[in-house]
Structure 1
Amino acid sequence: MHESPIIKLGGLNIDLAIVIMLVVTCTIVFVLARLGTRRLSVENPGKMQNFMEWVVEFVLGLISSTMDLKKGKPFLKLGMTLIMFIFVGNMLGLPFSLVTEYSQVDKAQIFGHPLVTVVDALDKAHASNPGGEHIEVGVAWWKSPTADASVAMGLALMVFVLSNGLGIIKNPRNYFKHYLQPYPFFLPINLIEQFSKLLTQGMRLFGNIFAGEVLISVLIKLSALGVVGTIGSVLGLVVWQGFSIFVGSIQAFVFTILTMVYLSQALETHDEH
């Protein structure tokens, strides 16, 4: 795997590749949504309008499968944004990669800020092999943003805060009361259950997409083994990228439907009490 282009800014480690890919993902989703709603027509809908209508119907189906549609309709835009954002983000790392190589510490910088991961990697390489030549460190600038744990966990944290915030705002007394059910000594178990939702939702998305990109990197490196390796690399990439499209779609679906399930549980808690 290649290094990430991380710089220190204001005491924080900023991954420039993730920032770039988040902007690219948001731009693509915005353009798709804009094209799908630009020229609405009942009699002669365009392809993009049909696509957006399909997304709407699909997300409505997810919502209706988890809660009463009347209660769930306010979450339609959230569901559409999540499923499109995650799907596009999952797909971005498949078509190609953009990698730059650095061999000198003084050249490993951008906007006047050193790439800390590259500097550390070069220092370690030179320390383990003093006088070594042609030491290079690759930096990946184009990858799926959801293959980064901070992005996946950030999305999961957003859902966690939203679902629990909904419970607190709608009916705080019953929300806090359900942590003590069926018996007060179940409080630790109920708390663990809540936080496990956050971890499993984020790590499931991250793990699947990250593993896919790691395998793609391994398959690309097979081309260094000669003709047989190149053939195996090409065939493996074709098969795996096709499967990755399926995995990326499933993960977007799973993340979105889990979001609706958690929101539904927050609403049902108030109804039950």
Structure 2
Amino acid sequence: MHKSPIIELGGIPFDLSIILMLIVTCIVVFVIAKLATRNLSVENPGKLQNFMEWAVEFVQGLISSTMDWKKGKHFLSLGLTFIMFIFVANLLGLPFGIVTDYHDASHAHIFGKEITSVTEEFAKHPDVEEVGVAWWKSPTADASVTMALALIVFLLSHFLGITKNTKSYFKHYFQPYWFFFPINVIEQFAKLLTQGMRLFGNIFAGEVLISVLLKLTALGAVGWVASALGLVVWQGFSIFVGAIQAFVFTILTMVYISQMIETHDEHEH
């Protein structure tokens, strides 16, 4: 695997590829949303408008399946943002990659800052001739990004539980019996971990397999054929995986919010 372009500012490491790809993801999502709502028409809607209407109805269905719509309608824009952002982020690393190779640690600089991931690699392995740095990849293939998204859901759902459903929120930690309190607390942090790591694991594994398939080209003509066929099949499957993971993350978000804002009686109903 290639290294990430990491620099330090004020002693804090920053992954430039992740920052770049998050910006690209935001721009792509914004452009899609803008184009889809630019010329709205009831009689003759365009393809993008139809797509956006389908996406809105799909997210409405997700919300309605997890909570009462009167409470859940406030989270429509949140769900739509999550599902579009994560889907686009999941797919960015599929079409191509941008990699730069460094043959000397003294050249590993950008914006006047040392690329520490490269210099450290040369320092650890003096016999290494070159170090590749990946600039273009799916941002969701990085655990820090997926865990940050999961943390947003975690903080939001608990904030809503405390402010909108205070009595039931604190009561559920002691159900069915008071000594279940530690288990219920651990469960909340387990949700945070699994939501973030599930997304990361699936997308990261896909990019690892793509890098393995690309390395088959070193085997000659047979390797080139196997690599090309494998990439076509896997990238097609990866689009499906990317869509499924965006769906899973979004519906889990709505489930967690529902568990916090609805009372126990409402869940039974």
Structure 1-normalised TM-score? Answer: 0.95
Match of 1:144 among 138, 141, 147: 138
Look up the match of 1:158: 152
The code of the aligned residue for 1:139 comes to V
Provide the C-alpha distance between the structure 2 equivalents of 1:120 and 1:189, rounded to a whole number of angstroms.
41
Provide the C-alpha distance between the structure 2 equivalents of 1:56 and 1:5, rounded to a whole number of angstroms.
37
SS in 2 for 1:65: helix
- Give the percent of matched residue pairs that are identical in Structure 1 and Structure 2: 72
SS in 2 for 1:175: helix
Look up the match of 1:39: 39
Q: What displacement does 1:140 show?
A: 0.1
Look up the match of 1:238: 232
SS in 2 for 1:222: helix
Is contact 2:67-2:258 (8 Å) kept? yes
Q: What displacement does 1:125 show?
A: 2.2
Look up the match of 1:103: 103
The code of the aligned residue for 1:267 comes to I
Q: Per-residue CA shift, 1:197-227, capped at 9, x if unaligned?
A: 0000000000000000000000000100111
Is contact 2:118-2:131 (8 Å) kept? yes
Provide the C-alpha distance between the structure 2 equivalents of 1:242 and 1:272, rounded to a whole number of angstroms.
41
SS in 2 for 1:39: coil
Structure 1 residues 126-141: aligned runs within 5 Å:
126=126, 129=127, 135-141=129-135
Look up the match of 1:182: 176
Provide the C-alpha distance between the structure 2 equivalents of 1:22 and 1:270, rounded to a whole number of angstroms.
38
Is contact 1:167-1:270 (8 Å) kept? no
Is contact 1:18-1:145 (8 Å) kept? yes
Q: What displacement does 1:270 show?
A: 6.7
Is contact 1:178-1:269 (8 Å) kept? no
Look up the match of 2:9: 9
Look up the match of 2:63: 63
SS in 2 for 1:139: strand
SS in 1 for 2:260: helix
Q: Per-residue CA shift, 1:7-36, capped at 9, x if unaligned?
A: 001221100000000000000000011111
Provide the C-alpha distance between the structure 1 equivalents of 2:74 and 2:167, rounded to a whole number of angstroms.
23
SS in 2 for 1:50: helix
Q: Runs of 5+ in structure 1 lacking a partner?
A: none
Look up the match of 1:28: 28
Provide the C-alpha distance between the structure 2 equivalents of 1:168 and 1:267, rounded to a whole number of angstroms.
9
Is contact 1:25-1:89 (8 Å) kept? yes
Q: Which moved more, 1:63-72 or 1:81-90?
A: 63-72
Look up the match of 2:210: 216
Provide the C-alpha distance between the structure 2 equivalents of 1:35 and 1:171, rounded to a whole number of angstroms.
38
Q: What displacement does 1:63 show?
A: 0.7
Query: Which aligned segments of 4 or more residues in structure 1 are displaced greater than 4 angstroms?
Result: 270-273
Look up the match of 1:256: 250
The code of the aligned residue for 1:239 comes to V
Look up the match of 1:120: 120
Q: Runs of 5+ in structure 2 lacking a partner?
A: none
Provide the C-alpha distance between the structure 2 equivalents of 1:109 and 1:198, rounded to a whole number of angstroms.
36
Provide the C-alpha distance between the structure 2 equivalents of 1:27 and 1:119, rounded to a whole number of angstroms.
32
Provide the C-alpha distance between the structure 1 equivalents of 2:52 and 2:229, rounded to a whole number of angstroms.
34
Match of 2:162 among 141, 149, 168: 168
Count of residues in correspondence between the two structures: 267
Q: What displacement does 1:122 show?
A: 1.3
Q: What displacement does 1:71 show?
A: 1.2
